[in-house]
A and B are shown apart, each in its own frame.
Chain A
Amino acid sequence: MELNLSVTSEVVMLWVAGALTLMALTIGARLVARSAAVSGRFANLVDAMVGFARTSIAEEFLGEHSARWFGFVGSLFFFILFCNILGKLPIPGFETPTADINVTGALAVMVFVVAQVVGMFKLGPIGYFKKKFLLPGAPMLLRILMIPIMVLVLLAEPFSLAVRLFANMFAGHMVMLTFATAEMVGGVWLLHHQNWAVKSVATLPFALTVILLGFEFFVAFIQAFIFALLSALYLSESLEEHH
């Protein structure tokens, strides 16, 4: 099987999201650093978002390691947030890269590998496997019997991380597509009706699509937050010396 590395529209969208993350955060940081008192709307927004990510993701879960790992977790948060929002903007050709299982799978595998490697550096390979695969405080026989289950539990972490983000983004698009199709097919047909009351029903799918779009922005934010939060949680599990 040959590895296909052709540049698809989703890859371009990933580049756009990365560039937007870099630009928004660097420009915001410059603006915040330049003037502490009066900094304008954009700088305030970036300041508030970074502060939110720092306090409620990094410091909440990583504790003493937060200063060191905030770069990783915060970048994940902002990158996924931009990825999620891109496809929701009404710009032709824009789509959500995170609505593809390959993108979310790659992100989840990256988080998984980082967490495991960090844990191995911290405790040494033997101590690490002992911590991850042997149930603490159980008889020896039970510990050996539990090893396959512990492996499954460990592998479920990146799997659920990838599937959660993918399914939320994909399902949101599907629901909006369904309502938009209802508008285009049923709504246009209803518009040709004689009665005004029936005609007004045609606006209903459109209104629902608009409301759903607002909800989708909220979901995009929440999912980016949860992805970064769970990454921080898995990292902190590896960083801690003991349970």
Chain B
Amino acid sequence: MDPRALAWLGSGVAIGFAALGGAIGIGTIFARAIESSARQPEALPLVQRLMFIGFALVEAQVLYALLIAFMLVFKKA
């Protein structure tokens, strides 16, 4: 099989699974944040702060995978 084709296939698989994991993580974070701020509206600033840190940390993993995908797509030979 052509190595370029394998690289493209790999980049698709990489970003697909990364998006799956990121979607689960971000969904959980926001669901819990909404839940807890509905239960305790006065805790909203703290919840919001932790929520954005968690969001950024989860998103970073997906973006590492995106970087790997780019590296695979633009791989020479």
Contacts and interface: CB of A to CB of B under 8 A. Distances in A.
Contacts of A225: 52
B56 interface: yes
Contact of A56 (B48, B53, B66, B67): B48
Interface residues of B, number: 13
B9 interface: no
Contacts of B67: 163, 167
A164 interface: yes
Contacts of A168: 63
Interface residues of A, number: 14
Interface in B35-68: 45, 48-49, 52-53, 55-56, 59-60, 63-64, 66-67
Q: Is the interface of B mostly helix, strand, loop or mixed?
A: helix
A58 interface: no
Given A226-B52, A229-B52, A163 B45 contact: no
B59 A164 contact: yes
Contacts of B49: 60-61
Interface in A123-176: 160, 163-164, 167-168, 171
